[in-house]
Amino acid sequence: MSSSLENITVVDLSRILAGPWASQMLADMGAEVIKIERPEKGDDTRYWGPPFIKPATQEQPPQAAYFHCANRNKQSIAIDITNEEGQKIIKALIAQADVLIENYKVGGLAKYGLDYQSVKAINPRLVYCSITGFGQNGPSAEKAGYDGMIQGEGGLMSLTGEPDGMPMKVGVALVDIMTGLYCSNAILAALMARHQSNEGQHVDIALLDVQVATLANQGMNYLATGTNPPRYGNEHPNIVPYQTFTTLDGSIILAVGNDEQFVKFCQLAQCATLAQDPRFATNEQRVNNRESLIPILANILASHKSQWWLNQLESIAVPCGPVNTLQDVFEHPQIKHREMIRKVTNQHGEEVDTIASPINLSQTPLQYHSASPDLGQHTFVVLSNKLNYSKAQINQLYQDGIIS
């Protein structure tokens, strides 16, 4: 069965998470992704552990679990980008490629002749995706950006955490991941546009822009009122009740999305009069009077165990759910049924777990054919098969330290 992007080649000059997340999505869809890494050291995230999938050896750096979350289905070649011969190799690969992804500082690749204007002359059909903290222009363009600092600077931390507590970042690198998603979407759009124009283009994606764009309802709440939204902890700023509640033996999430669901909840909880109370009859009134309503509901929900509430609420179609640990998540029968954990094989024939993509295509299903590569695992094969380097030429490059 064919893949959606089986004829697309991606040169991946990105590191850490946002760029590799985007290129992994393209690789899952069938693109050939050639990940270019530094000789000997490779991508920084190979070292971001413990935990490690594989420890360091004399020949290889370690492979952190972090690295494996974003680098399956790729080929790794290790090239010294600062060396003129290394740049020649990369340019030869770019000449054959459809997409290039990079996350260097603005202008950082120009000294190697690998900036967009330079490589556009080599391959006018190339879609060139640049990922930076703050974008290719503007007063902050020269600044480096990392997920945690962007969560703060972009306003997400001001919305996250308990009302009287410290601003909090999200427990995963959400800005990087969302940036990767926007990048893959933009790249696919540019590839579609190329069908009409026969030309590539420069895709400029900034972490700060992504964070601001994904403020979503909270961003619009501010634009509508001019007032900074407060932190609500696990409560929802625009829907009540929509939050975690403590039960007799744990916690659940109650997610009442409309007035009809609130009526059904109140009938189940034997507090039907609350649904007729003018302070709580509509969502608008419940939002305005949350400080009065939430303590009442908290007392009611504390009267039964979590599973009792989950069973009863699900039986009357009132949205709710448990607060699961990751062990609970990966044992979840729905997660198992949806095959969200897959096995991929590394170059040593060992099986490694990977978390699947949520994308399911009926005619061109995603692929899970290989684990994240060892550093330089495919250097010889790529130079030999794609660029027609002889064995003697490749061995000389190894001896000169240009590749590894």
Residue 1 predicted with pLDDT over 90: no
Residue 2 predicted with pLDDT over 90: no
Q: Could you say which of 147, 176, 209, 374 is catalytic?
A: 176
CB 39 within 8 A of CB 341: no
Q: What is the pLDDT of residues 173-220, one digit of tens each?
A: 999 999 999 999 999 999 999 999 999 999 999 999 999 999 999 999
Q: What is the mean pLDDT of residues 159-169?
A: 96
CA 98 vs. chain centroid, Å, equals 22
Q: Is the pTM of this model over 0.75?
A: yes
Q: What is the pLDDT of residues 306-359, one digit of tens each?
A: 999 999 999 999 999 999 999 999 999 999 999 999 999 999 899 999 999 999
Q: What is the pLDDT of residues 265-282, one digit of tens each?
A: 999 999 999 999 999 999
176 tagged catalytic: yes
